[in-house]
Structure 1
Amino acid sequence: MKTQRPKLNAERMARLVEISRVLNATTNLSHLLSRIISEAAELTQAEAASILLLDPKTQQLHFKASSNEVPPEMADMAVSLDDSIAGAILTQNKPMYIKDVSKDPRWNQNVDDAIAFRTRSILGVPMHNVGQEPMGVLEALNKRGGGDFSVQDFETLSILADIAGVAVEQARLFTELQQANAELNELDQLKTDFIAIASHELRTPLSVILGYVSFLRDEAGPEMTAQFDNVLQAAVHLRTLIQDMLNLRYVDAGTTSLTRTRADLITLVRNMNLERDETAVAKEQTVHVNLPNDKLLVVVDEDVMEVIIGNLLNNAVKFTPRSGRIEIKVERQGREAWFRIKDSGIGVPEDQLERIFKRFYQVESPLRRQHEGMGLGLSIAKELVELHDGRIWAESSNKEGSEFIIALRLELPPTGLL
C-alpha cells in the first residue's frame, strides 16, 4: 500500500507558492542561495540550514550557503559522496533524518568547528534539476526547542528543495549565458578593431600605389599602358575590398552608437577632398563638387557621415565608365540640407530603385556581373542615414546614370531670430 503524503496547511502551501515565484525570478546565485536557506530554516523551525552543491567535474559536494557565516576556506572544502551524510542523501537520492549525528560515523565534526555551531540532528533532502537528477543537498539543522522534525517538515523541505534546484539551475544557466555573451561581445569588438586597423593600414599604402601607377601610366608609352591598366584595375579592386571591410563594421547599424555634434555639412564635404578620390583618378574620371557659400548646419556624427558619403562616391565610381563624370552638389531645400551625387554610369532600372538599398543586393546577375563588391555599401548608407533621422533615395533614367540624394534636417535658429 502506497504511503500518502501528509497535507500541508494552507498557510505553508501559500508560502511555498510565493517562495517559488520569488526564487524563479532571482538570477543572482548568491542571493538565491541565501534566500533558500533563510526560508528553509524558518519553514521547518530549524536553528540553521545549509546547502551543498555537487561539482559535476569532481563529483564532490561543496558548501555554498549556510545560515551561519561560512568561512571562505570551508567553501573550498570538498565533501566526499562516499563517507558523509550529505553524500549518502545525494547518492541514494532520498531524504534522511539523523536524530543524533554524534552516533553516525559519517558525521564530520570539523564542519561544526569551522562554523562555531553544534549540530545535534540533520534533516536533509536531495535537490533536483529540471531533469530530476540530484544536484545538491538542502539540510535543516536542529529543531528549535530541542524537539524532532515532523513529517510535514520532511514534506516542506522536499518541496522547497525541488523549487530551489530548478531555480539554482536557472541561475547557473543565466550566469553562463551572460559569460558567453560577454565573450562574444569581446570577440566582436576584437573583430571590429582588427577590421578598423587593417583597413586603415591598407588604405594609406594603396593610395600611394594608385597615385604612383596613375602617374606612370600617363608617362608610359603605348606598349606599357596596358600593363599599367592591369595594375590599376587590381589596385581598384583591392580598394573595393577594403571599403567592404569597413562596411562590415556597420552591418548591425541599428546598434551603432552615434556621437552627434553640430556641424556644417558644406565644410564636412569640402574637407573630404572628393575631387581627388584615388579610384576616380585611376579611372580617369572627373569628380566635380558644387558647394554653396552659406553654411548648412546639421546635427550628425561626422565620422559616420564620411562613411555614408564615401559609400555613395564608391558606388558612383564603380558604375561610371573610364573618363566619365561624377557631379556632387550640396544645397538647401526648405528646412533640409540635401547632398546629391550623380554619376554618368549605366543607370538603375526603375523597378529596382528601392531594392538596391537591400543588403547584398546586386543589380547584375551574380554569375555574370562585371562590378566587384559585396553589395553592402548602399544598404549601410541607408541604415546610417536613417539613424540620423534622415532620408536617402535614388533616381535614374536607366540611360544617363543615377543620382542619390540624402536629406538631413537643418539645425535652424529659433523663430524670430532669423
Structure 2
Amino acid sequence: MAKERILVVDDEPDVLHVCERILTSDGFNVKTVSSGFEAVQLASAEKFDLLLTDIKMPGMDGLDVAEAARTVNPHLVCVTMTGYSTMDTAIEALRLGIEEFIIKPFMPQDLIAAVSRALEKEKLRQESARLRALMPLFELNRVFMSTTDVPRLAQQVLSAAASELKASRAVLLLCEEPQSSSENPGPYQTYASFDVANQDISAWARAASGICDGEAHVVLDQGNAADLLREIGAATIIAVAIKAKQGTLGALVLAHDDPSSRFSESDVEFLSVLCGQASVAIENAMLFEELRQAYEDLKQLDYMKSEFISIAAHELRTPLAILMGYAGILEGMVPAELKQYASIILRNAGRLRALMDEMLNLDALERGTSLIRLEGIDLASLVRDTVEDLRPLADTKHQTLSLELGAGNVRLTTDREKFGMVLANLVSNAIKFTPEGGQIAVRSREVPGGIEVEVQDNGIGIAEGEQDRIFERFYQVEDSLTREHEGMGLGLSIAKGMAELLGGRISLESELGRGSTFRFTVPLAPRL
C-alpha cells in the first residue's frame, strides 16, 4: 500500500472532499487546505511527497504555492488541477517543474493515474541523480584498489569524500585494532585529515564514537551534539563507519561549518558506498603490508641461513681434510684387525664432505656465482662414466642398474662437471629410494635441439601432492624424525638448479608405490 503524504489545495470544499476520498481510498496519507497561504505554512511545518493544487485560487494561485513550497522542500512533486488554462500558464508551470496537469472535471482513475505518474517520475529522477552521483565511485574504486600504501589510500578516500560533499573539514580515523564487538570502536589514530591539521583530533574521535557494529553512520547537529559541535566549530557532522569482515576498521568524519549546509540522504548513500570500497582497499593494503613485511623477514632469515651454510661448510673443510688425511695414514699403518675402524672413519668423513659440497653448490646457485666452463664432450662417455661410478652403490642393495645409450655418437658443448653432477644426483636419488633388488634404468636419446637423459626406477614413488615440492631445498617426503633414507633433501634442488644453469630442465613422472621417472634435457650448445 502506498504511504506517500499528499497535500491537497483548492478553494472549493467539494473538490477537496472528492480528492481526499479518492486518494485516501488508494492508500495515500492526505491533508487538505483551502488556501494557498495555508498550504505554504503547512508545507513549511511538515514534510510532504506531493502537492496537488488548483491553479486559480483567490489570494495566491497554485503556481505561486508550488514555487513557495519548493523553496522549503526542493524534492516536492507538484500536480495542478485546472478547469481552463492559457499558454502563459502552461509555460510558467513547465518552468516551475510541474509534473502533471489534471483537467476538471476528472474521473477518480484519472486523478490516481496523474498522481502515480508524477510520483514515479520523481522516483526515476532521484534514481537517475543517485546513479550519476555514484558514477565517480567506479573510477575511485579502481584508484583505491591499485594503492597499497595505507596512509596514501586514506588520503585518497578523504579527498574524494570532502570534494564530492563540499565538506568544510574532514578526517579519516582508523582503529589500532579491528573492532568486532558491539562496543564503541577505538582508540583511533589519524591517517588523513583535511583542514584540521592543527586541531585536537580527540573531539573528532568522539564524533565517531557513536558508530558501532550495529550502526553504519551517525549525523550530529545542534539538536543532539551541541557541545561537541561547539568544540569542533562545526554546524553539522556526519561519521560513517569503515567496516570489514573482521569488524570496524575506522570511520570517515566530515563537517559543514555553514549552518545552511546539511548532509542529505544522497550524501549518506554516497559515503556508505565510498566507505564500503575503502574498507576493501584498506584491508587489502594492510594485508599487502603484512605480506611485504613477512617477505622481508623471510628474506632476512633466508640470507642468514645461507650465510650460516656457507660459513659452516667452508670452516669445516679444513679440519675435515686433516681428519681424512690422518685417517688415511692410519689405515695404512695399523694392523689388519684395526683397519676396519679407520675405514669407517674415512667412509663417514667422505659422507660429510659430500654433504658440505652439496651445501656449497646450493649456496653458489642461490648467489648466482656458479661459473660455467664449456667444453665439447661425448655424451655416451659421460653418461657411462657417471653410471659406472655409482654402480657399486646399487650393487650393495642388489639392484639392477641398466644403461641404454640411444643417442649414438652425439657431442655437445656444456659444462662436464655440472652435467655429471645433475645426472649423478638423479641416479643416486633413484638408488636411495628404490628397495633392495629393484631396477633402475638410465637412457639417453637425442631430441630436437638437444639431448635427453632419463632415469627410471621402480622404487617407492612420489604422491601427486608432493611432486610440486620435491625440488625445493631441504624438502623431503618423509618426516625428518622417522625417515629411513639419509640426506638433507638438497640433491634434487641442486640438480634442478644446475640443469637450468646449463639451459635445460628436469621433469618428473611418478606414481606412489610404482616408481618415478626423471627426465633431464639440455641443448647441444648453449643458447647465447
Which TM-score tier does this pair reach, normalised by the shorter chain?
0.5 to 0.7
Distance 1:101 1:161, change over 3 A: farther
Equivalence for 2:416: 339
2:358–2:494 contact (8 Å) kept in structure 1: no
> 1:44-55 alignment to 2 at 5 Å?
44-55=165-176
The superposition leaves residues 212-244 of structure 1 with CA deviations (integer Å, 9 ceiling, x where unpaired) of 110121122223212212222232232233344
Q: Residue 293 of structure 1 aligns with which residue?
A: none
2:159 to 38, 47, 57: 38
For the Cα contact (< 8 Å) 1:127–1:162, is it kept in 2? yes
1: CA distance between counterparts of 2:280 and 2:2?
Answer: 27
SS of match in other structure, 1:89:
coil
Match of 2:277 in 1: 163
Shift of 1:19: 1.8
Identity fraction in percent: 29
Matches within 5 A, 1:312-391: 319=393, 336-337=413-414, 339=416, 349-350=440-441, 353-355=454-456, 373-374=487-488, 376-377=490-491, 380-389=494-503
- Structure 1 CA distance, aligned partners of 2:370 and 2:359? 24
Asked whether the 8 Å contact 1:90–1:137 carries over to 2, the reply is no
State whether residues 102 and 120 of structure 1, in contact with CA within 8 Å, keep that contact through their aligned partners in structure 2: no
Alignment check: 8 A CA contact 1:51 1:65 kept = yes
Question: What's 2:287 paired with?
Answer: 173
Report the Cα distance in structure 2 between the residues aligned to 1:355 and 1:375, rounded to whole angstroms: 19
Cα 1:171–1:177 shift into 2, 3 Å: same
Show the counterpart of 1:129: 244
Give 3-state SS (helix, strand or coil) of 1:174's partner.
Answer: helix
Structure 1 stretch displaced more, 3-12 or 184-193: 3-12
Structure 2 gaps of 5+ residues are 5-122, 179-184, 377-385, 397-409, 432-437, 444-453, 458-469, 508-519
Amino acid aligned to 1:45: K
What is the distance in 2 between the residues matched to 1:125 and 1:381? Answer: 58
Q: Distance in 1 between matches of 2:316 and 2:3?
A: 78
Whole-Å separation in 1 of the counterparts to 2:500 and 2:456: 16
Partner of residue 146 from structure 2, selected from 8, 25, 29: 25
Aligned equivalent of 2:193? 66
Structure 1 residues 296-307: aligned runs within 5 Å: none
* C-alpha contact (below 8 Å) 1:121/1:142 kept by paired residues: yes
**Cα distance change, pair 200–181 in 1 and its aligned pair in 2 (3 A):** same
Instruction: Tell me, yes or no, if the aligned pair for 2:173 and 2:252 is still in contact at 8 Å.
Output: yes
Structure 1 counterpart SS, 2:416: strand
Counterparts of 1:44 and 1:392 in 2: how far apart (Å)?
Answer: 61
Deviation at 1:160, TM superposition (A): 1.3
Shift of 1:405: 11
Amino acid at match of 2:195: N
Distance in 1 (alpha carbons) for counterparts of 2:526 and 2:263: 77
* SS at 2:253 equivalent: strand
Larger radius of gyration: 2
Residue 210 of structure 1 aligns to which amino acid in structure 2? Answer: M
Tell me whether 1:93 sits opposite 2:215 in the alignment. yes
Superposed CA RMSD in Å reads 4.7
Structure 2 counterpart of 1:99, which letter?
A: D
* In structure 1, C-alpha distance between the alignment counterparts of 2:328 and 2:308, rounded to whole Å: 30
Cα deviation for residue 264 of structure 1 reads 5.4
Distance 1:195 1:78, change over 3 A: farther
Equivalent residue letter for 1:354: V
1:236-275: CA deviation from partner (whole Å, max 9, x where unpaired): 232233344446658xx6xx463577x7557xxxxxxxxx
Q: Does 1:409 align with 2:500?
A: no
Matches within 5 A, 1:172-211: 172-211=286-325
| Aligned counterpart, 2:268 | 154
Structure 1 residue identity aligned to 2:368: L
Match for 1:12: what amino acid? A
Give 1:124's aligned amino acid: A
Displacement of 1:184 after TM fit? 1.4
Q: 1-side partners of 2:259 and 2:229: how far apart?
A: 22
**In 1, Cα distance between the equivalents of 2:316 and 2:327?**
16
Please list the CA deviations of residues 387-416 of structure 1 after superposition, one character each: whole Å capped at 9, or x if unmatched: 2315899xxxxxxxxxx998773799xxxx
TM-score normalised per structure 2: 0.50
Aligned to 2:195, what secondary structure does the other structure show? Answer: coil
CA distance in 2, matches of 1:2, 1:155: 23
Equivalent residue letter for 1:97: V
Give the aligned partner of residue 291 of structure 1: none
AA of the residue aligned to 2:441: E
C-alpha distance in structure 2 between counterparts of 1:367 and 1:86, whole Å? 59
Instruction: Please tell me whether residue 218 in structure 1 is matched to residue 332 in structure 2.
Output: yes
Alignment of 1:279-298 (within 5 A): none
Shift of 1:42: 1.6
What is the CA-CA distance between 1:102 and the residue it aligns to? 11
Q: Larger relative CO (CA 8 A, sep 6+): 1 or 2? A: 1
TM-score by length of 1: 0.62
The match for 2:22 is: none
In structure 2, relative to structure 1, the CA distance for the partners of 1:17 and 1:198 (3 Å cut) is same
Report 1:76-87 matches (<5 A): 84-87=206-209
Change in Cα spacing, 1:170 to 1:375, as seen in structure 2 (3 Å) is closer
* Deviation (angstroms), 1:34: 1.0
The AA in structure 1 aligned to 2:277 is I
Q: CA deviation at 1:70?
A: 3.1
Residue pair 1:206, 1:235 contacting (<8 A) in 2 also: yes
Alignment partner, residue 368 of structure 2:
258
For the residue of structure 1 that corresponds to 2:240, the secondary structure is strand
Cα distance between partner residues in 2 of 1:33 and 1:140: 14
Structure 2 contact 502–526 (Cα < 8 Å) conserved:
no
Cα distance between partner residues in 2 of 1:22 and 1:171 = 13
Moved more, 31-40 or 384-393: 384-393
